[in-house]
Amino acid sequence: MILGIGAESGVFLYAVLAGVSVLCAYRILAAFRKLVRHNLFITGMEDVIFWIGTSIYIFRKMYDTTYGNIRWFFVLGVLCGAGTASLLLRLSGKICAKTKKSLEKYRKRR
């Protein structure tokens, strides 16, 4: 089935959203690991379960949006979404660190 450019752009944006959600889920898992220490075996099992679940999720989203056809723009959309979300999270972390530092300087002056 051939999709029109409008449908393809909608699928691309849906793929970007899927990439963002996968990245956010992995960040939540990483935060959980920092809160509760695990041994190496449990961490490996968590990773295997996460990536199996992620591949099922991505496959299902691809199947639902592209009617079972593998479209490279879907894969590119997932990668773009995860990359963009990662950059935005990193940038917001830097902004928060700078804000905290400037507030501490202001507090010391008073």
Percent of the chain with pLDDT strictly greater than 70:
96
Q: Nearest-5° angle of CA 97, CA 101, CA 105?
A: 170
| Segment 20-34, tens digit of pLDDT | 999 999 999 999 999
- Number of structural domains (the chain) is 1
Q: How much is the pTM?
A: 0.79
The answer to the question of residue 91 being in a domain is no
What is the CB-side half-sphere exposure of residue 100 using CA atoms within 13 A? 6
The answer to the question of residue 28 being in a domain is yes
Q: Residue 9's pLDDT is what?
A: 86
Which structural domain range is residue 14 located in?
5-84
The answer to the question of residue 101 being in a domain is no
The answer to the question of residue 73 being in a domain is yes
User: Quick check: 19 and 78 in contact, CB under 8 A?
Assistant: yes
Q: Does the pLDDT value for residue 47 go beyond 70?
A: yes
The answer to the question of residue 110 being in a domain is no
